[in-house]
């Protein structure tokens, strides 16, 4: 499957996976539970949650967990991403996660932002990380 159209039903599947992942989050310090889900180039969905640590900087974001699951499953392309968290503000990926997504996504990859109730909005990766640095910059 080379090109994936993110249909309404795929969007719902991504949201459900992110919601199920959020429940598993380990966030005793911030108490801010986040779930993420990535749709790969084969149409499979990989989920992750944030995992905090008593040594605070060692904590990892939900997006990083979802990307790790995707790589472990043998996939290399993120075709769409769902990030789900609580609160009135949009839970958009942190700067580090935008760069992590950049490695496996394209400028037009959709990043959906959700609450446990609904998908709230979306951005392209290009919108979240303009003028970005990526693997192709390392080729001479
Ligand atoms: N967090 C994520 O997992 N993803 C995001 O997109 C935003 C922030 C986590 C990191 C930390 O465990 C907690 O949320 C509070 O920042």
**Is the C-beta atom of 22 inside 6 A of ligand 1?**
no
Tens digit of each residue's pLDDT (9 = 90 or more) over 72-108: 999 999 999 999 999 999 999 999 999 999 999 999 9
**Is the C-beta atom of 30 inside 6 A of ligand 1?**
yes
CA of 52 to the centre of ligand 1 (A): 9
Across the chain, what does the average pLDDT equal? 96
Tens digit of each residue's pLDDT (9 = 90 or more) over 50-65: 999 999 999 999 999 9
CA of 117 to the centre of ligand 1 (A): 18
DSSP string, 73-122: TT---EEEEEEE--SSS--PPPHHHHHHHHHHS-TT-EEEEE-SS-EEEE
Q: Where are the domains of the chain?
A: 8-138
The answer to whether residue 86 is catalytic is no
The model's pTM: 0.96
**Is the C-beta atom of 114 inside 6 A of ligand 1?**
no
CATH numeric code, 8-138: 3.40.140.10
Cα dist from 18 to 1, 55, 62, 68, 88, whole Å: 23, 26, 9, 15, 18
**Is the C-beta atom of 27 inside 6 A of ligand 1?**
yes
């Amino acid at each position: 499957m080379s090109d994936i159209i993110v249909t309404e039903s795929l969007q719902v599947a991504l949201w459900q996976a992110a919601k199920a992942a959020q429940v598993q989050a380990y966030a005793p310090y911030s108490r801010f539970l986040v779930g993420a889900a990535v749709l790969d180039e084969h149409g499979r969905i990989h989920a992750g949650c944030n995992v905090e640590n008593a040594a605070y900087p060692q904590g990892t974001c939900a997006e990083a967990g979802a990307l790790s699951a995707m790589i472990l499953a043998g996939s290399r392309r993120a075709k769409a991403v769902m990030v789900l968290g609580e609160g009135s503000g949009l839970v958009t990926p942190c700067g580090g996660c935008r760069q992590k997504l950049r490695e496996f996504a394209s400028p037009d990859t959709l990043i959906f932002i959700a609450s446990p109730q609904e998908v709230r909005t979306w951005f392209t990766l290009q919108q979240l990380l303009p003028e970005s640095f990526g693997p192709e910059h390392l080729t001479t």
